[in-house]
Amino acid sequence: MLSGNSALLLPLLAVVCLSGPPANALSAAGVFGNHAVLQQGVRVPVWGTARGGAEVKISFAGQTQTVTANNEGSWIAWLRAMKASREGRPLKIRSADLTIQFENVVVGEVWLASGQSNMQWTLKACASRLAEVKTVMEEPRDLGIRMLRVDAPDSPQVRSLDPNRIRWQIDSPASRPSQSAVAFYFARKLARELSVPIGIIESSWGGKPIEGFIPLSAFTRNAALRPVASLAAANKLEELQSIKGGVIIRNTAGMPGRIFNGRLAPVAPYAVAGSIWYQGESNAGKGEDPRNYRHKMDALVAGWRHAFQQPGMPFYSVQLPAYRDEAFGWTRLREEQRLSLAIQNSGMAVTIDLRDPDIHPANKVDVGERLALWPLARQYGKDLVPSGPLFKEAHITGSTVRVSFHHLGGGLMIARKEGLSPPLETPATDLSEFELAGVDAVWHAARAEIESEEVVVTSPSVPRPVAVRYACSGAPRNPNLYNRAGLPASPFCSRLDFLPWAPPRSEK
């Protein structure tokens, strides 16, 4: 049985979403407000409701656009592309004798941030375990960041945001404790590198599977995901849990599309530079099947790009960190996340080296800053390496496997990371966490050495290897392969069919 009052909520939402505005109404979408950040360099949509057929004028930064509300009272205007500016200016919306004015609106780079609890995890929560975070949280100056937290309830259909529940917050010691730590450190790095205002629209929700964030229509376009939507719609939740790529739906927010309807669709098509995503734990726990997660990622990205009218919107995600040896699902889901890099204009921050026994690691500093490397290198023209080594291919000759990588970053190295310090090269130590398997699919520890731009792997226990893998356990003890840019190699397995996604049946 699902928790929540979805049956009671549906009639009310139908009224909210389908009824037109009052005859004398003028409103702007809830995502707009005092202290908002508008995206630089592109046309910027501004939308809302008014009396049907009414003329609406939108003025900002020396330009005015005039549009007419349709018969249902909806209107949308497009401001011409603007340069970044820290100058706070009013955004005015007028119709007949009604005026809405938002103050101190700036122009810069705007990013979506979403996922589950590790994205939602606050600076205050991290500061309780890391003194360095506490110091940054209390820094008195404005760091050039503005954040909007969207925490609307889930919904069976698209609904509007309540402007009384959300507001843009200017960065300050007072606003930081409740902010997403990952989003904050991502934004801080961008602000430092770009010297423009950074806006974050954050809509994460702890403990929720990816299904809730994907538009319902995106399930029907993907053959692998259609059963998820159809079984959920029929309330066959036990059957949904048992299929390939199955998921446990614990409450209404886990149902396909319901978080998207409540927290993301109402924000679209706000102009953004891209999106960042940290999720997967609730698709890889006990009883959940992480297979097909890459297809869910593909549906998520395609659905968001369609909603925001940006076919190539950049999408950067966080690969799950180490967590418990018995976390079979996490091991396989990391591979699904790596394989989802086939999505155009995507990237992934690797976190396998950020050791923490907690399911919510305190070090969100490296997570946010590693995420920021992707847009800095890809979109903003900075001469940076965006990623650690990513598996390219394995060449097998006799008993030897030679592994090559993308993102060499100046070369491969063996290193160790402690705390927030940069990784320290340890050339006298062995390269760890490599394994080989033969046709029996039984994995054995292997010897691995860096030779030029490759890793050469052998094992006396596997004279005829057919597969190689790296750091493929729930909590690998010493994943120590890096590139010289100081970024860790992603876990990988050259034969996905050799990688267990759940414990043996006798252990379940």
Six-digit token pair at 365? 């500093």
Q: What is the per-residue pLDDT for 272?
A: 98
d(CA 296, CA 317): 13
Identify the sign of the CA torsion 224, 338, 109, 133.
positive
Six-digit token pair at 383? 């001469």
121: buried, middle or exposed (CB in 10 Å: 19+, 13-18, 0-12)? buried
Q: What is the per-residue pLDDT for 381?
A: 97
Neighbouring residues of 387: CB distance < 8 A, sequence distance ≥ 6: 347, 348, 349, 350, 373, 374, 406, 407, 409, 487, 490
Say if CB 468 and CB 403 are below 8 A apart.
Answer: yes
For the chain, the domains span: 21-105, 110-378, 390-507
Neighbouring residues of 429: CB distance < 8 A, sequence distance ≥ 6: 414, 416, 480
DSSP per-residue codes, 412-437? EEEEE--TTSPPEE-TTSPP-SEEEE
Q: What is the per-residue pLDDT for 504?
A: 75
d(CA 280, CA 302): 18
Q: Which of 492, 489, 446 is nearest to 465 (CA)?
A: 446
User: Tens place of pLDDT for every residue, the chain, 508 residues?
Assistant: 354 333 323 222 333 333 445 545 999 999 999 999 999 999 999 999 999 999 999 999 999 999 999 999 999 999 999 999 999 999 999 999 999 999 999 999 999 999 999 999 999 999 999 999 999 999 998 899 999 999 999 999 999 999 989 999 999 999 999 999 999 999 999 999 999 999 999 999 999 999 999 999 999 999 999 999 999 999 999 999 999 999 999 999 999 999 999 999 999 999 999 999 999 999 999 889 999 999 999 999 999 999 999 999 999 999 999 999 888 899 999 999 999 999 999 999 999 999 899 999 999 999 999 999 999 999 999 999 999 999 999 999 999 999 999 999 999 999 999 999 999 999 999 999 999 999 999 999 999 999 999 999 999 999 999 999 999 999 999 999 999 999 999 999 999 999 999 887 645 4
Q: At what angle do helices 293-307 and 328-339 cross, to 10 degrees?
A: 50
Q: What is the per-residue pLDDT for 189?
A: 98
Six-digit token pair at 339? 């394989």
Q: What is the per-residue pLDDT for 76?
A: 98
d(CA 233, CA 243): 15
d(CA 14, CA 355): 47
Q: What is the per-residue pLDDT for 22?
A: 58
Q: Which of 123, 476, 486, 106 is nearest to 323 (CA)?
A: 476
pTM of the model as a whole: 0.94
At 199 the three-state DSSP class reads: strand
398: buried, middle or exposed (CB in 10 Å: 19+, 13-18, 0-12)? exposed
Q: Which is the CATH superfamily of the domain at 21-105?
A: Immunoglobulins (2.60.40.10)
Q: Which of 60, 35, 31 is nearest to 47 (CA)?
A: 31
d(CA 383, CA 373): 10
> 110-378 maps to which CATH number?
3.40.50.1110
Identify the sign of the CA torsion 151, 158, 342, 410.
negative
Six-digit token pair at 282? 């609730």
Neighbouring residues of 397: CB distance < 8 A, sequence distance ≥ 6: none
